[in-house]
A and B are shown apart, each in its own frame.
Chain A
Amino acid sequence: SAVISQKPSRDICQRGTSLTIQCQVDSQVTMMFWYRQQPGQSLTLIATANQGSEATYESGFVIDKFPISRPNLTFSTLTVSNMSPEDSSIYLCSVGQLYNEQFFGPGTRLTVL
């Protein structure tokens, strides 16, 4: 499986600020996804990061709040904008080839004060 890294691994931020999370893969992958896992909850898909085009967002998630970039087949960023304490969560990058297994990065633990 691909080796996936995320930066930062954790951060504590003030409300109203923004944080950009980076996801780097050691090989080219077709699909990259961003998930959120709130405390004690399962994983919720935020969006699919499409290379060369806009991300595809799930219901309840919007581009203004969670802008995503995917400049190439090994890298993506997720920005959490205008943060509030409700955004405190673990944010996970996931990668896979079309129709195949998905693997997860180590996650970014975000706390908003």
Chain B
Amino acid sequence: QKEVEQNSGPLSVPEGAIASLNCTYSDRGSQSFFWYRQYSGKSPELIMSIYSNGDKEDGRFTAQLNKASQYVSLLIRDSQPSDSATYLCAVKNYNTDKLIFGTGTRLQVFP
């Protein structure tokens, strides 16, 4: 079992729709959770971090965390073609302070 799992996609959504990206993790000691966006040929850019159960909203982005289910998600409202990228889920355990990445989900937003 991989430590951080994501559906590789591509996830295709029409412009203006909600894109829902999901991630599960295996280490119950994970304490910090992050979503990075990576455009083709570019380095990962941090877009959301979440540390406690529930929802965290930032503009069009909402991160959701459920530690009991070992599940974290990212919702993108009013999706735009410029949101087309690969979204990487990453988790960190304070004991190791290492960031473990999933394989990423490729999102395509079509006009």
A interface vs B, CB < 8 Å? 1, 31, 33, 41-45, 48, 90, 92, 94, 98-99, 101-107
Contacts and interface: CB of A to CB of B under 8 A. Distances in A.
A103 B36 CA distance: 10
Given A1-B46, A107-B43, A102 B104 contact: no
A33 B99 CA distance: 10
Nearest to A6: B43
A42 B104 contact: yes
A45 B43 contact: no
A103 B90 CA distance: 12
A-B residue pairs, 8 tightest by C-beta? A104-B43, A42-B103, A107-B43, A43-B101, A42-B101, A104-B44, A106-B43, A102-B99
Contacts of B97: 31, 48, 98-99
- Which has the most chain A C-beta neighbours within 10 Å: B42, B43, B97, B103? B43
B46 A45 contact: no
B49 interface: yes
Contacts of A48: 97-98
Contacts of A92: 43-44
A101 B90 CA distance: 11
